[in-house]
Amino acid sequence: MLVEDVLKQRRVTPLTAHEKRALESAIAEVRDHGPREILVRQGQPCHESILLLDGLISRHVDGRDGSRQLVAIQVPGDFVDLHGFPLKVLDHDVGTVTPCRIALVPHARLDPLVEAMPALARKLWFLTLIDAAIHRAWMLRIGRLKAIARVAHLLCEINLRLRVVGLSDGRQFPLPLTQTDIGEICSLTAIHVNRMLRELRDSGLCTFRNARVDIHDLPALARLGAFEPDYLYLQPQATAGMAGA
């Protein structure tokens, strides 16, 4: 089932079978895309939202000087630009990082659903607010953490988010990002990211190589990254052993 992972293990009443069917029936198309394709452009009217089934998608803003800041990274199960449903226009670009499989949900099909099913509407609203909570955590990461801690924090977050949808075993997972990507997330140069990754490796906390992450000491990594997963609004059992406190 395509919407199986939506809201999975979050601190909210899960989608009912009926709601899942309704959402699924709102999907107009399932499509595949190559890597580094732009799916939604900043400032363009948007009439459909993307459910990510496979691959990685980034949401980012490009500066005119060539700099880029990622404002979100989406993993399978994420309703990538659901915020475009009420907003109608996005303030950033959406693009694939890796080859992706996506499901398209036209807003015209979502309208009657949220009108008729207030409980579903409430859950979708909740979903978009988790996104905002992650934004806040990213502000903390960029604003308050040192370079090494930023990278550690990011790896902890992705590890946990992937684990929820079964793509990490809690210690190892594929992560097809370049060091430049990580820099654009953490607001660091690729060169400095490289040094931080080496430092993580040398100190035995975690290895990132060949697009794979292998966390050797999760508690230490979480501590270094000051990682407090509350902001993901996961059920308590999903975050067991993940916090850095």
Q: Which does 131 bind (CB under 5 to 8 A by kind): DNA, its own copies, none?
A: its own copies
Does position 21 interact with DNA (CB under 7 A)? The reply is no
What letter would DSSP give residue 230?
A: G
Distance CA 101, CA 50 (A): 10
What is the C-alpha end-to-end distance of the chain, expressed in Å? 37
Q: Which does 125 bind (CB under 5 to 8 A by kind): its own copies, DNA, none?
A: its own copies
Residue 143 CB, nearest approach to its own copies (Å):
4
| Angle subtended by helix axes 17-25 and 118-144, to nearest 10 | 80
Distance CA 2, CA 20 (A): 9
Tokens matching residue 41:
């452009």
Does position 207 interact with DNA (CB under 7 A)? The reply is no
Q: Considering beta carbons, is residue 145 or 160 the nearer one to DNA?
A: 145
Does position 179 interact with DNA (CB under 7 A)? The reply is yes
Binding site for its own copies (CB under 8 A): 11-12, 42-43, 61, 63, 67, 69, 71, 83, 86-89, 91-92, 114-115, 118, 121-122, 125-126, 128-129, 131-133, 135-140, 142-144, 187, 226, 230-231, 233
Q: Cite the DSSP H helix spans in 26-172.
A: 84-87, 107-116, 118-144, 147-164
Which phi and psi angles does 230 have, rounded to 5°? Answer: -50, -35
Q: Which does 30 bind (CB under 5 to 8 A by kind): its own copies, DNA, none?
A: none
Binding region for DNA (CB under 7 A): 146-148, 178-180, 187-192, 194-195, 197-198, 209-210
